[in-house]
Structure 1
Amino acid sequence: MTAVSGHGPWPGGERDVLEAQQTVLGDLAALPTGVDAVPFLVQLTARGPGADPVGRAAALLEELPVELGPHGWKLADRPGHDERRAETLRREDLAALAVAAVGYAGPLAVEVTGPWTLAAELWAARGDRVLADHGARRDLALALAEGVRGHVAEVREQVPGADVVVQLAEPLLGQVHAGVLPTFSGFSRIRAVPGPEVVDGLRPVVDAVHDAGASVVVHLGSTWVGIPPVALAGADAFGLDVGAVGWNERAWELVARATERGLGLWAGLPPATVSQCSGPQLGELVSLVAEPWRRVGLPASGLDGVTLLASPRAALASTDEHRAELANLGRVAEVLAERATA
């Protein structure tokens, strides 16, 4: 059934995380009949260091301490205040989830920065990006795998009825693969990571999620060239910002191949444009999914398995705007579901 979900970051600065979590669960429960809801663990990123996506994921690394440095998060010799703050914020979020989701049973999405984006964003204790060191990035992937495994267990402990879906955010995977990320000095670029190594980096985390009894979606942003490695790594679904991709025949051919192999599509859509006369232009959002789907030759019935995602820029909007975006996606999903059965 066509579904609606979000990435996790939620607007509102330091507003009450419990209130934000209750809002998400309540709004998604009010979606139109025939549309599935995939509630998500909210992330109030404006709370500062440790609430940001990189800090949250870095604090999960098993036996790899981290701290804040001049350029952002970096590996450390021992755990310190920065890591403890990130862990405290994460536990506060889980406690709020436990209260907001009392009695809930069904899918529940939890977003974590993926191993390649984390390796690109995290710095070595005394050196360049972790990505620049083959051994260090392998160790990071294994440490993240163990951390995510534990995170899934904690989420399930707080919400026993949850069917956990781990969303691995990999917005930098395309730059990692293309070899365009600058080194510490900025005078050169880190060597490109070939496709087979991309698969090898994703697989430990994907396997750990499956071992923990959860499913995994790898979000690629607009990096459609990452679809084959995601499929080969064993992910259950891939996320793609179809609004940014538009009609790109090569991209949609990869989408078709992946869906034919059984992978689900989590389609990221931008906020609807609004007309003063007719309100949100939801037909435009429907077309961003349905038209390329049809042109590439996929059966209309397959639209029933698509999950629509709110924009990753949602945390920069107001709370009311983000809530309106989720409601609009519910109506878009309703149309796609109707087309799937036509």
Structure 2
Amino acid sequence: MSTDAKFTLPAGAATGVGSMPGGDAREAARTATGAVEALPFLPELPARGPGADMIGRSLGMLVDLYARVEPSGWRFGDRPGRDSRRAVAWLGEDLDALEEFTQGFQGPLKVQAVGPWTLSASVERPNGEAALGDPGAVRDLAGSLTEGLRLHLADLRRRVPGAELVLQLDEPSLTAVLRGHVRTASGYRTYRVVDRQVAEDLIRGLVEAVDVPVVVHSCAPDVPFRMLRRAGVSGISFDFALLTESDWDAFGEAVEGGTALFAGVVPGTDTGLSDPAGSVSGVRALWRRLGLDPGALGTSLAVTPSCGLAGASPAYARAALVHCAKAARSLVDNPE
């Protein structure tokens, strides 16, 4: 979509990051649509094995590029194999379940895929080195991913015609890519730093091609807020506990510039959950410190778990999402 387009969050929105525990697609879809009704999402179930993980799922979406599982991880091959077919089959199962629980649904619906930089850092070329080490391979991968996402989104429009689709790109390795911290296969060296303008342009190209609002998620420290906003993303999703004082200005600029923020404030693994309003007390405090409009809090920021819920128990995963929804509602009812 156009880089000047804005995505408006529903008031009091909460959502999941993507991954859920277990292997029951129907139960995961029931939770992902019922616990966070303002912004439901398509679950990922990595416990099923390779191909259901976020890397494998996204590699299964590629057009004219194929990957298989090797002892060292995912590696490109010259033809679709068992691993690619399994990734496609599991995605189809998850989409069938989502379609079942979104009959008649109208409103925003979030789906996730791994972004081009994290995917490039996570899949190997035939020589065993990451695609990240070859700029041509990165461009090919980004182009294939973009086309695959366009097809994926078209399928979702047919399945859930009332949905306003939102695409989340998972980029947990983006900061490491920008700093040259991704290690080569030997582990003794790192790949060269990727120029920030090159990284920005690649993301912008994907954002403009998919024609839906794009949110970039990273649960790593030092999320590049300003670069992502220049690339035209509509939202940024992050672990709120990892923000430092050096991030505050960029956070405030994002709010004032209309970028939707997805703040991870609820633990992603089993723990005690107390007062939902207390979970967002840090968000309120930062909002006041920056002098931001308290009336805009409930529509500028969505509440999420700190990262995926794959490591949680099914009962906790549902409780955490319900807790996120209550915390988000409290930002509307009591913004100050």
Q: Give the superposition deviation at 1:281.
A: 4.0
Unaligned 5+ segments in structure 2 are 1-10
| Deviation string, structure 1 residues 284-335 (Cα, Å, up to 9, x no partner) | 4222211112212222122122111123241111111111111211221122
Aligned pair 1:4/2:5, yes or no? no
- C-alpha separation between the residues in 1 aligned to 2:276 and 2:242? 16
SS of the residue corresponding to residue 50 of structure 2 reads: coil
Amino acid at match of 1:260: E
| Deviation string, structure 1 residues 62-91 (Cα, Å, up to 9, x no partner) | 111111122111111111111111111111
Match of 1:136 in 2: 137
Asked if 2 retains the 8 angstrom alpha-carbon contact of 1:249 and 1:296, the reply is no
Higher helix share: 1
Taking the TM superposition and a 5 Å limit, the aligned residue runs for 1:125-204 are: 125-204=126-205
Asked if 1 retains the 8 angstrom alpha-carbon contact of 2:75 and 2:128, the reply is no
Unaligned 5+ segments in structure 1 are 30-36
Asked if 2 retains the 8 angstrom alpha-carbon contact of 1:156 and 1:162, the reply is yes
Alpha carbons of structure 1 residues 274 and 318: separation in structure 2 relative to 1, 3 Å: closer
Taking the TM superposition and a 5 Å limit, the aligned residue runs for 1:296-307 are: 296-305=290-299, 306-307=301-302
Q: Give the superposition deviation at 1:55.
A: 0.3
Aligned pair 1:59/2:60, yes or no? yes
Percent identity reads: 39
Q: What count of residue pairs does the alignment treat as equivalent?
A: 324
TM-score, length-normalised on structure 1? 0.90
Amino acid at match of 2:184: T
Aligned pair 1:255/2:270, yes or no? no
Taking the TM superposition and a 5 Å limit, the aligned residue runs for 1:191-340 are: 191-210=192-211, 214-245=212-243, 248-271=244-267, 280-305=274-299, 306-340=301-335
Match of 2:116 in 1: 115
User: Per chain length, whose mean CA-contact separation is higher, i.e. which structure has more relative contact order (CA < 8 Å, sep 6+)?
Assistant: 2
Match of 2:25 in 1: 17
- C-alpha separation between the residues in 1 aligned to 2:231 and 2:194? 15
- C-alpha separation between the residues in 2 aligned to 1:180 and 1:101? 41
Q: Give the superposition deviation at 1:222.
A: 3.7
SS of the residue corresponding to residue 298 of structure 2 reads: helix
Asked if 1 retains the 8 angstrom alpha-carbon contact of 2:221 and 2:242, the reply is no
Q: Give the superposition deviation at 1:264.
A: 0.8
Asked if 2 retains the 8 angstrom alpha-carbon contact of 1:303 and 1:339, the reply is no
Asked if 2 retains the 8 angstrom alpha-carbon contact of 1:148 and 1:205, the reply is no
Q: Give the superposition deviation at 1:224.
A: 3.4
Q: Give the superposition deviation at 1:44.
A: 1.4
